[in-house]
Amino acid sequence: MIDFLSEELRLMKEHHLYRSLYLIDGPSEPKTIINGREMLLFSSNNYLGLASHPRVKAAAIAAVKRWGTGSGGSRLTTGNFNLHRQLEKRIARFKGTEDAIIFNTGYMANLGVISALVGREDLVISDQLNHASIVDGCRLSRATVRIYRHNDMLDLARILSDRTSFRRCLIVTDGVFSMDGDIAPLPQLFELAQEHQAILMVDDAHATGVLGDRGAGTVEYFGLEKRGIIQMGTLSKALGSEGGYVAGTSNLIDFLRNRARSFIYSTALSPPVIASAMAALEVLENEPHLKEQLKANVRLFYQGLKDLGFEVLPTQSAIIPLMVGDSCKALALSTALAEMGVFVPAIRPPTVPEGTSRLRITLMATHTRDHIQFALDAFQKAGKKLGLL
Ligand code: PMP
């Protein structure tokens, strides 16, 4: 009955699309143990190093001591601790919105919010390169889904000309695109949304803690606060914890509490996770140099790769995509780097479009100049060995 599994697995391996798990035995820091070996990590989303910041760790430990390890229920039953509401209010303050709601992951936030806001009679319009959790949220909603070419406002306007045949319309975009590192043109998106009476939602998973004066994300970066843009994001990347959130008006949050199924039917996040996210927001506010250090590290690495002759996409985030194209070559580059102690996994289809396999390099504020120089030397050696330079 399930013989097809071995055949499917064989095909994945034949096409260099098979994925296996790496075993990490240490914190998500620049130097850690991967598959039993000390390596320099250049692919973590722990952009500011907060997952092992002493104050963030101390907050998690204190929370376990006081409240234990699990919440014991869903938010609407017995799992709603004071902590959860405090964090939601803290996120709303950070994002400049009336309220916020936390989900167990960013993935679940996207599923929950999109499927709650639109249904069969509605239209949802999504950027071609949006994250898989947005794609799945759109599918789950049963709304009509239309895809516009990446960041292409003319294509979006073309699709919006059909908007009047639908009850509601939701435009959804990544703020910072997870595999390309570029930013969505929010001001233009907002104008089009206004013009066509559409709701605009931005996924700031990779912008939170990275973009904007206070690190509040793309809405702050473009100065679009108070415009009613729905801001979704994660606690799992620059904030070094776990969970997702949606920030917006009180009505929106009240509605989601009642309608977002991934919020309603899942056990609330555990106390240490909530406490560490709260502490991370404090650190972000009190230690702005971390964000500056991250930016400086990105600039240094990006310029280094360009000087070596690699094809890197321009970036304003913590993500530097090094384009290889062929998935087999991308895998070979990643393997050669790993042999030299530098860890950057290859990103291949279906995560990225066919023919655009790449190494997704991410920087952390905690990388030193020495780490960066060591990695650049390894990229040069590996690039030459594989004929990429
Ligand atoms: N949105 C984007 C743009 C992401 O990159 C990710 C995580 N890779 C998510 C949502 C999901 O967030 P989480 O990992 O917290 O589930």
Q: What would the pLDDT profile of 342-376 be if each residue is shown by its tens digit?
A: 999 999 998 999 999 999 999 999 999 999 999 99
Distance CA 358, CA 6 (A): 27
* 380 CA from centroid of ligand 1 (Å): 31
| pLDDT score recorded for residue 226 | 85
Low pLDDT (below 70) residues in the chain: none
Residues having CB closer than 6 A to ligand 1 are 105-107, 110, 131, 133, 174, 178, 203, 205-206, 234, 236, 244
Are 302 and 315 spatial neighbours (Cβ–Cβ below 8 Å)? yes
Amino acid found at 346: A
Distance CA 34, CA 326 (A): 25
| pLDDT score recorded for residue 82 | 96
What value does the mean pLDDT of the chain take?
Answer: 97
Q: Do domains 4-41+288-385 and 54-286 have the same CATH topology?
A: no
Distance CA 147, CA 125 (A): 6
Nearest to 131 by CA among 82, 75, 164, 179: 179
Query: In CATH, what is the architecture of 4-41+288-385?
Result: Alpha-Beta Complex (3.90)
Global pTM? 0.96
| pLDDT score recorded for residue 15 | 87
| pLDDT score recorded for residue 2 | 83
Distance CA 252, CA 286 (A): 30
270 burial via Cβ count (<10 Å: 0-12, 13-18, 19+):
buried
How many CB atoms sit inside 10 A of residue 52's CB?
A: 15
Distance CA 31, CA 49 (A): 12
Give me the residue spans of the domains in the chain.
4-41+288-385, 54-286
Q: Any idea what the Cα angle at residue 142 is, between residues 141 and 143, rounded to 5°?
A: 90
| pLDDT score recorded for residue 3 | 87
* 131 CA from centroid of ligand 1 (Å): 7
Cα torsion through 152, 156, 157, 160, rounded to 10: 180
Supply the CATH classification number for the domain 54-286: 3.40.640.10
Residues designated as active site? 178, 206, 237
